[in-house]
A = this chain, B = another copy of it.
């Protein structure tokens, strides 16, 4: 590496630099990593329209998660954070799910939300709270949690932040009963203490993700 030609990468914990002679883009964590001399404000920006209501009718649970992560803003790479707007139809919910790589902190912008999470084995303690506008709640990393809009007439809106640039999400019902291919009904029947035909019926439903 020529010592006279180097490039400082701004603001990353896992530092990156690259050779002056490189003609191809460099990847860090699989994302393009630009020469600091070439970065633009646009690399850290998205006209995400997080102020605009989202359609909550495209799935059966009545919610819509708009996640702004490293796939949307390349400059987030290695920086360990992302942001989301969540819309809830009346009686809609963001169903029980986990983020395998992130804690979530949420505040209610509109309406009310009934929220909760369950602690690990062996306690499996359920902690819940009704949130009003302006309230803040924390869902610790990896725990099963949900938000539910208890109001039958009014929608609700929340802003959530997650402690990863790519937090991932696993909707429990979808992963268990809607995986491709399906998990053996022997396994699920015993785990959920139901008949195999109940599992089969569940696996025949349409399981759609609520993230756009």
Q: Given A81-B103, A168-B142, A121 and B17 touching (CB < 8 A)?
A: no
| Residues of B with C-beta under 8 A to A132 | 47
Nearest-CB distance from A178 to chain B (Å)? 6
Assess whether A90 is interfacial by the CB under 8 Å rule: no
A43-85 CB mask vs B (1 if < 8 Å, else 0) is 0111111111000000011100000101111111001111101
Report how many copies the assembly holds: 6
Assess the B121–A161 pair: CB atoms within 8 A. no
* Contacts A50-B136, A98-B100, A121-B171 supplied; 19 other A-B pairs, CB < 8 Å: A3-B71, A12-B141, A17-B31, A18-B31, A28-B30, A36-B123, A37-B123, A41-B127, A44-B139, A45-B136, A47-B134, A60-B190, A91-B190, A98-B98, A109-B109, A122-B211, A125-B179, A126-B179, A193-B202
List chain A positions with a Cβ less than 8 A from chain B.
Answer: 1, 3, 6, 8-19, 26-33, 36-37, 39-42, 44-52, 60-62, 68, 70-76, 79-83, 85, 91, 93, 95-105, 107-109, 114, 116-129, 131-144, 146, 148, 150, 159, 161-166, 168-184, 186-188, 190-194, 202, 205, 207, 209, 211
A-B contact pairs, 19 of them (CB 8 A): A10-B119, A11-B120, A37-B123, A39-B127, A41-B128, A45-B135, A45-B138, A51-B108, A75-B140, A79-B138, A79-B163, A81-B162, A95-B191, A100-B120, A100-B142, A120-B168, A125-B180, A144-B175, A148-B187
